[in-house]
Structure 1
Amino acid sequence: MKYNLYIHIPLHGKFNILSITKEQVEFVVDAYKKGKSKFTLNGTKYDLHDVKDFQIYEMKMELEVFKKTSLFGGFHKKGGYYGFYIPKENLERLGSNVTSNFIGNTEYGEESNNETTQNKEFVSNSRLDELRALSSSNFDFKKLIRLCEELNDNFSRGNYFSVGALGRAILDHIPPLFNVSTFTQVVGNHGGKSFKKNMENLEKSLRNIADGYLHLPIRKKEVLPNSVQVNFSQDLDVLLAEIVRIS
């Protein structure tokens, strides 16, 4: 028996891994359960991050045979992470959904033995869900959400220059939500003492660090940033929570 996989990652999109053995499925499932950000199968490197949908289907008909049948119409869609993908409803035509047999109700990263899923998140998934649920006739939140998703993706990969730059981009992006034009005005005009303190940390610390990443020319000796240097996640969460509250 062979199997087909359907995987949906919000940041990257949808993709498949097709016609693989049970042992190979178990290898991918192990990466899913342990929250690995990437794995290699048959020489191809795949990325995993914040997996939204992970489905496993039996393959009762060979792919090339299926393509020759009348069911092939609309079989695949362009625009997937790897160029095209086969939707779930078409994979079901090839065989039964057996996801529960392999992963049950296990969430992505639930069985991580090292770094927990929470540690890999810069912006928590629950906060992202709250942002995705926002609706406004005055503002479109898609860019803010994508900045947060890319922040998570780069933090999980150790791309700390990018984390600093994306954090600064968020500060420059959100002031109109508070009816002002700059983040300095957000710091000075909104919220109580506690909120202002968190925002001052973002304005003074994050902005200065990001400015150094973006504008310092090459020097004789450099020291690369680490996760501690860019860890302004708690202050950013306070900001995002306030955006959810007022929107």
Structure 2
Amino acid sequence: MSEQPRPTGAPAHQNVTFPSAGGTAHGYLALPPSGTGPGVIVIQEWWGLTDHVAQVADRLAAEGFVALAPDLYGGNVAHDPSEAYRMMRELPVARGVELLSGAVDHLLSLPEVTSATVGAVGFCMGGGFVLHLAAAEPRVSAAVPFYGVIQGELPDFSGLKARVLGHYGEQDHTIPPEDLAQLRTAIEEQSGTAPEFFLYPAGHAFYNDGGPSYEPESAARAWRRTVPFLRERLG
């Protein structure tokens, strides 16, 4: 996964705490100008809860959503790809889903959230967690993986309630076409609902405007598809 290394000492963005997975979790919460709106979980890349992830939450808030980005690394941010890979591998999928389910609990408990379900938007590692979370959590009604990398086996999608809108780069060597085809087939056969996948003339991490693979036109098109999708599913 070729993404720009994080600068040494870059802190994780945190401004809220909430109970999750038997402990106290941290995250970044962004509220819309109106003060209320549907809830969306934003799931980090393998770097951690970085500037980029917080900015995505802010962009969603500007579109009218209450956006919560939970910190899956407990305040740690990777500074180079090898450290990011290690931190990603040290987070078991089941543990990540447990932490994210706690974030769903917290988001839906907020008086500012007007929706009965939430959306989930994630990038790279976080895109994979979007699919794992949606497969396990019926309160997720809109799942939007950006170049989602699934660790290990595909989840069981038989309980999936969410509609899936995925964004992938045609030049992304981390997600081969056969893997995407397998994912599409698994979701459709197990859930009875076909996902909607879009391919862009871009590589991995094309939405990250702080990285070397940023592709502005593809990023803008993906965003223009994402926002109406979330509004339609969340109300």
The bucket for the TM-score relative to the shorter chain is: under 0.3
| TM-score, normalised by the number of residues in structure 2 | 0.25
Q: Relative to total residues, which structure has the larger strand share, 1 or 2?
A: 2
Highest Rg: 1 or 2? 1
Q: Relative to total residues, which structure has the larger helix share, 1 or 2?
A: 1
| TM-score, normalised by the number of residues in structure 1 | 0.24
